[in-house]
Amino acid sequence: MQPVDRTDENRNLWGIFLLCAIVLICYSNNFNAGWHLDDYPNIISNTRLHVDVLTFDALKQSFTALPSDPGNKIWRPLPCLSLALNWYWGEDDPIGYHGVNLILHMIVACVLFLTVKLLLQTPAVKADSTPGSRHIIALLAASLWAVNPIQTQAVTYIIQRMAVMAAMFSILGLYAYLRGRLTVGRERWGWFSAVAAFFVCALLSKENAVLFPFSVLLIEFIFFMKRLPMSRTKAWLTTRNGLIAGFLLIAVIAFIVLNTAGNPINFGYYDKRPFSLWERLLSQPRILFFYLSLLFYPAPWRFSIEHEINHSLSLFTPWTTFPAIFGVVGLIGVATLTARKRPLLSFGIFFFFLNHLVESTILPLELVFEHRNYLPSFFIFLPVAYWFNQLVVSYRRENTSIFIMLVVLFTVILTATGLGCYDRNKAWKTDYSLWYDAFQKAPGRARSLMALGVAIGWGEEDIPNKHDIALGIFNRALKLPGARKNETAQIYGNLGLIHMARGEWPQAIAAYHKALEISPNERKIRFDLVRGLIALGRWHESEKQIDILLADEFATPSELSYKGFVNLWLKKPENALRIFQEVLASDYRDAFVYHNIGVAMARLDYPERGKWFLERALEIVEKESRGRIIIYLTLMENRHMDDDVFGAKDATYRLLAEYGLDEILDTLRLLPATHNYPPMDTEAVSRILSRNLVDIAQSVDAR
């Protein structure tokens, strides 16, 4: 056991308090931010995260919450578990999610601060600093990292909790490793055991944590091994063998964890990208320099969810490609040559490039995303903080005026960076604010325009003629390059939705067909096409499209229920009922299914059984919805078919108790022109309603 340094402990507490306060101030407005982009499929629509009871079985389902293959593969279980717990406490209210993300960011910043202090105590640099200066350097480096606006995409974009948690466990692992290396005695093996545990947790958060062992080796080579005599002493052999055994174990763990989630590298996805593997590799050096420019010139107007950066076609197209490659090689060369004399600079450079290897090299990911810098930028400000501290210490003795100027300068830089962070968070408030910001900064990108059109067309903002504006935006977006080949298909799909909202069904169907010609596997667009065909009563065409949806492995009970619905309209109630029985067998329940079964039962001369399903539909359907009125009208028809006069009158009473007569009559008038509900004899229902209204009026007069 080493003696506890109370002075250093107090410094740590004050440093942690100050860091948390700074982060809280800079992120105080991120609680106003909403859901964005990948939040919707990964959280809002991901039912495996929608936990309503705190039981092991309920929480366990979050471990296999991959949206494209739910229930089959373990996928980032620790972040998914945390999101499931968030859902339990607040469902789709984003405030709680932002609170957790901010706490995680504070933890990362504080552990980074403590880790930098330990790095400054390693053999390579310990002689160059005092306990007091180490504290200042660590606090400066961690503060500059924590409030840099580039981190907002990881912290405020809720689903990037996965990146934050992987980074958190990685920095905890580095801290534990340094504690183990700097501790004498048996206690060090406890710290080394913690390293393995944190590495596993990082891998269970996001796959890019696979580089963690190389980060540890980087620390070992730069801060320890180059400073030790290479004699074959017993101590050296023990350390070396322990490291080799430890990393072999870690490699086995990494292999097992990554392969439980299936193939972690899918090069086939390049078919969906507008660039090849070679073009992506050529592009990334330019993008890495762009990231560095964002880190060191963090003006809030430079950040965006979408950046207008074209991929490189060759070494000289664009001309910056070759200089960027040369620059990366040059920086790595500088890091290699300065490893002994300037280890902090060397480490910052190596760590940045090393931890970009997963997301900035061969994988078929999009070219640019700011959140990819969350972990790689951990130590990028360490040499800056070290040199600044050296200047301050030097001029403190020699020139008080320059010393004061330096302190003021750093205060201004940190304040400006923090204000930039606060300002950047404003863009994340709504989909409209985020994508309007992206459109201003990347007007030549299809996705920014498409997403802005979606935000205007279906967002909460009160914008006059929103559908007309969205239509113009989508048509403009069709002329721009996208991040994926299927982006054009998605734009056509959104055009179809706008035409549907305007009641322009033929134009909507034409847009959907264009989308599916480009990308036949767009399931949502095909389902929207089904809805459009149903609205026009084109039953055979809609059934054909439904069969295409049902033919692949991703078919859903909801899609199957629409096949039953179409069969009802095709006057095949037996087929419809058989299909709906399949739907019920899959444990899928909703008002639409119960409503259709009720109608099918009545058409097959089982009105009493049909009534039971209609009552179940009324229990589920939302209050104050037109669908609820229609279910009541169907119930009246059902009771009439069973010659149940009192039952029909009771359904009328219940309907009038919830809705006004004008609203009911408007719904009845609309029904013959729509096919979005099960078939109904509206003339018969109108007669039943009229007769029951007369009876009700007479009974009131009699009283």
Backbone angles phi, psi at 254, to 5 degrees: -60, -45
Q: Are residues 475 and 331 in the same domain?
A: no
Using the 3D structure, point to which of 550, 578, 603 is the last residue of a domain: 550
- pLDDT at residue 237 above 80? no
Q: What 3-state class would DSSP assign to 314?
A: strand
Tally Cβ neighbours within 10 Å of residue 388: 21
- pLDDT at residue 260 above 80? no
Q: Are residues 488 and 583 in the same domain?
A: no
- pLDDT at residue 662 above 70? yes
540-544 mean pLDDT: 96
Q: What 3-state class would DSSP assign to 468?
A: helix
Tally Cβ neighbours within 10 Å of residue 454: 21
- pLDDT at residue 170 above 70? yes
The residues with which 173 forms a beta bridge, in sequence order, are none
Three-point CA angle 84, 89, 92, nearest 5°: 70
Largest Cα span, the chain: 111
- pLDDT at residue 659 above 80? yes
For residues 117 and 661, give the distance between their C-alpha atoms in angstroms, rounded to a whole number.
74
> Is the bond preceding 383 in cis, omega lying within 30 degrees of 0?
no
Place of tokens 């002075």: 7
Q: Are residues 198 and 316 in the same domain?
A: yes
Would the pTM of this model clear 0.85, i.e. be above it? yes
- pLDDT at residue 464 above 90? no
Using the 3D structure, point to which of 523, 550, 577 is the last residue of a domain: 550
Give whole-number Cα distances, 633 to 575, 639, 655, in Å: 24, 10, 8
Q: Has residue 604 been placed in a domain?
A: yes
Q: How many domains does the chain have?
A: 3
Place of tokens 């070494």: 315
| Token pair of 542 as six digits | 């809609």
Amino acid at 608: E
| Token pair of 537 as six digits | 């009563």
Out of 98-102, 294-298, 656-660, pick the least confident: 656-660
Give whole-number Cα distances, 98 to 32, 170, 201, 357, 465, in Å: 9, 21, 21, 29, 33
pLDDT band (50, 70, 90) for residue 454: very high
Q: Are residues 539 and 568 in the same domain?
A: no
Q: Are residues 570 and 546 in the same domain?
A: no
For residues 267 and 247, give the distance between their C-alpha atoms in angstroms, rounded to a whole number.
28
For residues 216 and 522, give the distance between their C-alpha atoms in angstroms, rounded to a whole number.
43
Backbone angles phi, psi at 317, to 5 degrees: -130, 100
Give whole-number Cα distances, 40 to 3, 350, 418, 431, in Å: 51, 36, 29, 12
Tally Cβ neighbours within 10 Å of residue 291: 23
Q: Cα–chain-centroid distance for residue 528?
A: 24
Q: What is the CATH number of the domain that holds 660?
A: 1.25.40.10
Q: Has residue 175 been placed in a domain?
A: yes
Q: Are residues 629 and 688 in the same domain?
A: yes
pLDDT band (50, 70, 90) for residue 264: low
- pLDDT at residue 692 above 90? no
| Token pair of 459 as six digits | 């967002």
Inter-axis angle of helices 400-426 and 131-146, to 10 degrees? 30
**pLDDT at position 246:** 59
For residues 508 and 494, give the distance between their C-alpha atoms in angstroms, rounded to a whole number.
9
For residues 143 and 668, give the distance between their C-alpha atoms in angstroms, rounded to a whole number.
64
**pLDDT at position 297:** 97
For residues 452 and 474, give the distance between their C-alpha atoms in angstroms, rounded to a whole number.
9
In what helix (H) or strand (E) does residue 18 lie, and over which residues does it extend?
A: helix 6-26
Q: Has residue 84 been placed in a domain?
A: no
The residues with which 317 forms a beta bridge, in sequence order, are 314
**Burial level of 137, CB count in 10 A (0-12/13-18/19+)?**
buried
Domain extent, residue 123, equals 6-35+92-398
Q: Are residues 172 and 316 in the same domain?
A: yes
Of 175, 164, 112, 160, give the one whose Cα is nearest residue 139: 112
Q: Are residues 386 and 439 in the same domain?
A: no
Q: Are residues 243 and 112 in the same domain?
A: yes
For residues 610 and 539, give the distance between their C-alpha atoms in angstroms, rounded to a whole number.
24
Residue 587's contacts (CB-CB under 8 Å, 6 or more residues apart) are none
Q: Cα–chain-centroid distance for residue 612?
A: 41
Q: Are residues 312 and 164 in the same domain?
A: yes
Q: Has residue 55 been placed in a domain?
A: no
- pLDDT at residue 550 above 50? yes
pLDDT band (50, 70, 90) for residue 334: very high
- pLDDT at residue 594 above 70? yes
Q: Is the dihedral of CA 443, 446, 452, 457 positive or negative?
A: positive
Among residues of the chain, what percentage have pLDDT more than 70?
92
The answer to whether 274 and 221 have CB atoms below 8 angstroms apart is: no
Helical ranges in 157-233 per DSSP H? 161-182, 187-203, 212-219
Question: Pseudo-torsion of CA 164, 167, 171, 176, nearest 10°?
Answer: 100
- pLDDT at residue 248 above 80? no
Q: Are residues 394 and 476 in the same domain?
A: no
Q: Are residues 186 and 333 in the same domain?
A: yes
Specify the higher pLDDT residue, 61 or 271: 61
For residues 452 and 468, give the distance between their C-alpha atoms in angstroms, rounded to a whole number.
13
Cα radius of gyration rounded to whole Å, the chain? 31
**pLDDT at position 573:** 95
Instruction: Note the pLDDT tens digit of each residue in 213-232.
Output: 999 999 999 998 755 554 44
Among residues of the chain, what percentage have pLDDT more than 90?
73
**pLDDT at position 231:** 44
Instruction: Note the pLDDT tens digit of each residue in 350-376.
Output: 999 999 999 999 998 999 999 999 999
For residues 65 and 59, give the distance between their C-alpha atoms in angstroms, rounded to a whole number.
11
Q: Has residue 374 been placed in a domain?
A: yes
